[in-house]
């Protein structure tokens, strides 16, 4: 099994030691290095521990034969585009279980018509962790509220819609919300 542990770790700007300390229970940088290079076999247990440490799904750490990676041909930095110093590739987005999507048909706030938004569905126990993020919240009769989550307290969500001039909405006891995770923007 080919892993992408090194690619994901580097993309997140983490050292071997930082990933090792984030593992539960903590391990050594040497162990992470051996797992990255294939010097040590990566079990499902290790894959899940490292995925948790990197805050990604375990599937994002495995190279699947049917999923083609995309070559990175330039790095766009403060001084403009530069050629990578070593070969890099990225995997196309991989949907996780429970995700939902929103298609933007009319521009609102930062989002443009044509954008596709991938959402992570979260339950009430995680609402507070989603404050200051863009969310989709179900409302009665099959409607939704979309905007920035300002507060989550006592079963009430305070959402500021994206469109200019709209007033804050208060949603009571939704079963779930979708938190914007990824934007796919065609050009």
Which domains does the chain carry?
Answer: 5-90 (1.10.260.40), 99-184 (2.10.109.10)
Average pLDDT over residues 157-182: 91
- Please, are residues 39 and 31 in contact by the beta-carbon 8 Å criterion? no
Mean pLDDT score of the chain:
87
Question: pTM of the full predicted structure?
Answer: 0.57
Helix (H/G/I), strand (E/B), else coil: 132: coil
- Please, are residues 59 and 94 in contact by the beta-carbon 8 Å criterion? yes
Q: Of 2, 1, 30, which is closest to residue 16 (Cα–Cα)?
A: 30
Mean pLDDT lowest among 10-14, 92-96, 120-124, 183-187 = 92-96
Q: Of 98, 121, 99, 104, which is closest to residue 175 (Cα–Cα)?
A: 121
How far, in Å, CA of 125 to CA of 121, rounded? 12
Helix (H/G/I), strand (E/B), else coil: 117: strand
Q: Token pair for residue 113?
A: 């018509």
Check pLDDT > 90 for residue 83.
no
Check pLDDT > 90 for residue 91.
no
């Amino acid at each position: 099994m080919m892993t992408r542990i090194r690619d994901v770790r580097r993309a997140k700007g983490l050292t071997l030691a930082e990933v090792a300390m984030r593992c539960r229970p903590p391990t050594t940088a040497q162990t992470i290095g051996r797992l990255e290079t294939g010097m040590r076999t990566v079990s499902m247990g290790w894959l899940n521990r490292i995925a948790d440490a990197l805050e990604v799904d375990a599937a994002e750490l495995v190279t699947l034969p049917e999923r083609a990676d995309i070559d990175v041909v330039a790095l766009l930095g403060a001084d403009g585009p530069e050629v990578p110093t070593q070969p890099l590739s990225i995997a196309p987005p991989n949907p996780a279980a429970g995700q939902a999507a929103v298609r933007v048909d009319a521009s609102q706030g930062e989002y443009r018509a044509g954008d596709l938004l991938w959402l992570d569905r979260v339950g009430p126990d995680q609402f507070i962790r989603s404050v200051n993020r863009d969310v989709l919240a179900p409302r009665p009769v099959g409607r939704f509220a979309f905007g920035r989550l300002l507060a989550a307290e006592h079963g009430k969500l305070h959402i500021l819609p994206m469109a200019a001039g709209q007033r804050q909405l208060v949603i009571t006891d939704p079963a779930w919300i979708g938190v914007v995770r990824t934007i796919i923007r065609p050009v």
